[in-house]
Structure 1
Amino acid sequence: MRHSCALIVLLLASGTCLAQTSVNLYGIVDVGLRAVDGLPGSTTAVASGVNQTSRWGIRGQEDLGGGLKAVFRLEGGMNADTGTQAKSDRLFDRQAWAGLDSPYGQLAVGRQANLISDALLPVDPIGKRDASFNPNINVAGLSNTAFGTHAFGRQYGPSGYADNFYRLDNTVKYTATVGPWQARAAYSAGEVAGDAGASSSHGVALAYQRPDWVISGASMQFRSRDGLALDAWSLGAAVRLGSWQLKANAARNDADTGPSKRVAQRVLSAGVSRAIGRDLLVTTAWYSVRREATGFVDDGFDRGFLFVEKTLAPRTTAYVEADYTVWRGDAATKDRHGTGFTLGLMQKF
C-alpha cells in the first residue's frame, strides 16, 4: 500500500501521459513578512498569499476522440505560514469539477468561481492579486461582504458560507470562444427541497478580446434560502500600450437583506502597470468602495496598492507590496487610515 501511494504521488508530480490521458499536480506557495497599522490595530506577522493565494491542485484530461475531451480540476487553498487548509471544512474549497471540452466550448459541473470572478480576471487593476484584501475580489466578486459595522448576514446562492458567494457549489458552467468573443453562462442549484429557486444563482458573462485590449463584464442573480434577492454586475476594460498596461473596472451589487431592508455596494477601480526590462513589473492601483444599508450610516473605504515584482526564475518571484486605506463612515471602529507593507516570495510548481 505504501509503495502504491508513492507511485501515485510520483505520477501526479511528474505528469502522466498514457493513451492521451494526463494528470498533473500544480500549485503556488506564497509567503511574506507583513506589517500593518490601522487595519485594524498594528501587527507584524508572517502572511500567506499576499501576491497570489497559496494553493495546490490536480487537473487532468482524457481524449475521447472526435475533438472531445473529458476534463477535471480539484483545487484547494492553503495557509503557507501554518500548513493548514484555507477552509477547514473543505479540502478542495476553490474548485472541484468535471466536464467535457469540445470545439464548441467547455461544459463544467461542480464547485466553481462565480461569473463576476471570471469577468474580473483580465481587467482587475492589480491582476486579482492580494485576494483577501483586494476590493474587487471581496466586494465586487462577493468573497467577503462583511466589513465595518454590518454585513449581508446571510448566504446567497449555494456557496456554503454567509457573506461569501465568490465560489458556488452545484454549478453548471458553459464557456464558448468564437473568434475574439468569449461567452459564459452558469446556473447553480440551491438544492432546497420543494423550492427550486431558493439558494440558487444564475448569470451570464461576455468578453471581447484583442491582442492589445479587452472588454469584460458579467451579470449575476443570487437568491437566499428564504427567497431574498442579490443582483450583481461588473464591467471593465484593459489596454496595453507598449510596456504599459492600463485597467479599469466598475461593479455594483444590490441585496434585499430583510423586509424593507437592503444593502447596496459599488466599487470603482483603476490602475496601471509597467514592465521594466524582462524581469521587473511595477503595478499601482486605486479602489473606491461605497456602501449604503438600511438603518446604517453610509460607509466605505478608498484603498491604494503598489506592487513591485522581480522575476528570479521562471517559477520564482520576489515582491514588495504596499497599501494605504482611508476608511469612511463606520467602516472602521476607530482608525481612519490604515497602512500595510509586505516583503514576500512566491514559488509556483
Structure 2
Amino acid sequence: MKKSLIALAVLAASGAAMAQSSVTLFGVVDAAYAYGSGSVSNTSQLKSSGYSSSRLGFRGVEDLGGGLSASFWLEAGLNNDNGSGDTTSTNNQGASGVTGGGLTFNRRSTVSLNGGFGEVRLGRDYTPQFWNLTVFDPFGTVGVGTVGVGTTQTLNSSLGGPTTVRASNSIGYFLPGNLGGFYGQAQYYMGENLSNAANKKDGNGLALRAGYANGPINAAIAFSETKFLAGNIKAVNLGGSYDLGMAKIMAHYNQDKISGGNDGKGFLIGGLVPVGAGEVRLAYSTYKIDTVGADPRTNKLALGYVHNLSKRTALYATYARLSNKNGAAQALNGAVTGLNSNSNGYDFGISHSF
C-alpha cells in the first residue's frame, strides 16, 4: 500500500512538472521550380525556400515560478530539394568558420531566461541589424545567401559581411513586451579568438535596435559595428510599415561602411495587398557600392502572388527583374549575366508549414 502511495505521489509530481513545461516541433517545407536568365547563361532548377525558408525546429519553455521562465530554440535550415542541411559560421568570420552540409541548427540555437525584466538570450541568433531588412520587406528576405528572386537588393548586395543576418556566440537582451508599443534589443557577439592572436577581435560585434509598433504603425532603427581583419563594418538601417487595411506599405534604408574600404547604401519600397484568399507582393529595391572610379548599382523590381489553400499550405508565383549599372553583374536564380546587363527570374512553388 505504501509503495502504491509513493508511486502515485511521484506520478503526480511528474505531471505537475510536465504541465509547467512544453516542447514544440515545428517547421516549413517549401519547394519551387525556379528559372533564371542572364546574358551569359540561364538556369532551370528545383530549389527550396521560394516563399518561406525551409526549416526544422524544436522550441520549449519551462515555467520557473515567480514570473520567471526558461526557454530554448533550435532551428535548422533545410534544402529539401536534395535533403542537405544549411551551413553555419562558427566564428562570425566568413568562409574560415563555415561548417555544415548535414543538419546544423544554423538558423537559431539559443537558450533564454525570461521575466518582467525582459529576456536574456544566449547562442546563435539573428542580428539586430537584420530585422529591419526582413520585417520591412514584402518578400521577407527569403533566399538568404543567394540572389533570391524576391529578396530585397539591400540584402543581396549588402557589404555587411558574415554577421549581416546571424551571429554565433552571442549574448542578447530584449526589452519586455509591455512598454506601450516600444521594443528594443542589444546584442554582443564574439569571434572567440586567442587573446595574443593578430586577429583577436575578428568577428566581435555590438548591435542595437529600437522600435515602436502600435496599431497600423511599425517603425525601427538599428546600428551595428563588427570588427574584421579586413576592415571594421558599421551598419545602420531604418524601416517602417503602415497598414491601410486594403494594403500594407513598407520601406527601409540600409547603409554599410567598411573602414578603409568601400561603402554601400540602398533602399526598398513596397507593399502587400490582400486579394481574396491570397496576397499580392510587390517591391522595388536598389543598392549602390561607392568605389573609386565607378559606383556599381543593381536595381530590382519584384512582383509575386501567394494563394493560401489553408492556414498552413500556400501556392506562390514570383517574378523579378534585375538591372545592373556601372559595372555591376548580379543575376537571379543562379544565372550568369555580363557587366551592365539584365537578369530575369521566376519561381513557382508550394509551401507547407507544421
User: Structure 2 length as normaliser, TM-score?
Assistant: 0.82
**Counterpart contact for 2:297–2:324, Cα < 8 Å:** yes
Q: Distance in 2 between matches of 1:74 and 1:283?
A: 30
- Which one-letter code corresponds to 1:291 in the other structure? I
Question: Higher relative CO (CA 8 A, sep ≥ 6), structure 1 or 2?
Answer: 2
**Counterpart contact for 1:175–1:185, Cα < 8 Å:** yes
> What does 1:70-149 align with in structure 2 at a 5 Å threshold?
70-87=70-87, 89-90=99-100, 91-131=104-144, 132-133=146-147, 140=154, 145=158
* Aligned pair partner of 2:289 in 285, 288, 291: 291
SS at match of 1:107: strand
Describe the superposition over 1:157-203 as per-residue Cα deviations: whole angstroms up to 9, x where unpaired. xxxxx756421111011111311100111101222222764421001
Q: Distance in 2 between matches of 1:28 and 1:263?
A: 37
2:91 paired residue number: none
2:192 paired residue number: 191
SS at match of 1:116: helix
Q: Distance in 2 between matches of 1:345 and 1:136?
A: 15
SS at match of 1:186: strand
Q: Distance in 1 between matches of 2:157 and 2:288?
A: 15
**Counterpart contact for 1:289–1:302, Cα < 8 Å:** yes
SS at match of 1:18: helix
2:96 paired residue number: none
The answer to whether structure 1 residue 281 and structure 2 residue 285 are counterparts is no
**Counterpart contact for 2:153–2:286, Cα < 8 Å:** no
- Which one-letter code corresponds to 2:298 in the other structure? F
Instruction: Indicate the percent of aligned positions where both proteins have the same amino acid.
Output: 23
SS at match of 2:191: coil
The answer to whether structure 1 residue 315 and structure 2 residue 315 are counterparts is no
* Aligned pair partner of 1:239 in 235, 238, 242: 242
Post-superposition offset of 1:263? 1.5
Change (3 A) 1:298 1:78: same
> What does 1:153-172 align with in structure 2 at a 5 Å threshold?
163=162, 165-172=164-171
1:14 paired residue number: none
CA RMSD between the two structures: 2.4
Please say which structure displays the higher CA radius of gyration: 2
The runs of 5 or more residues in structure 2 that have no matched partner are 1-16, 89-98, 330-336
1:223 paired residue number: 227
Q: Distance in 2 between matches of 1:200 and 1:320?
A: 39
Higher strand share: 1
Post-superposition offset of 1:207? 0.9
> What does 1:26-45 align with in structure 2 at a 5 Å threshold?
26-38=26-38, 41-45=41-45
The answer to whether structure 1 residue 210 and structure 2 residue 236 are counterparts is no
Change (3 A) 1:218 1:109: same
- Which one-letter code corresponds to 2:220 in the other structure? S
**Counterpart contact for 1:125–1:248, Cα < 8 Å:** no
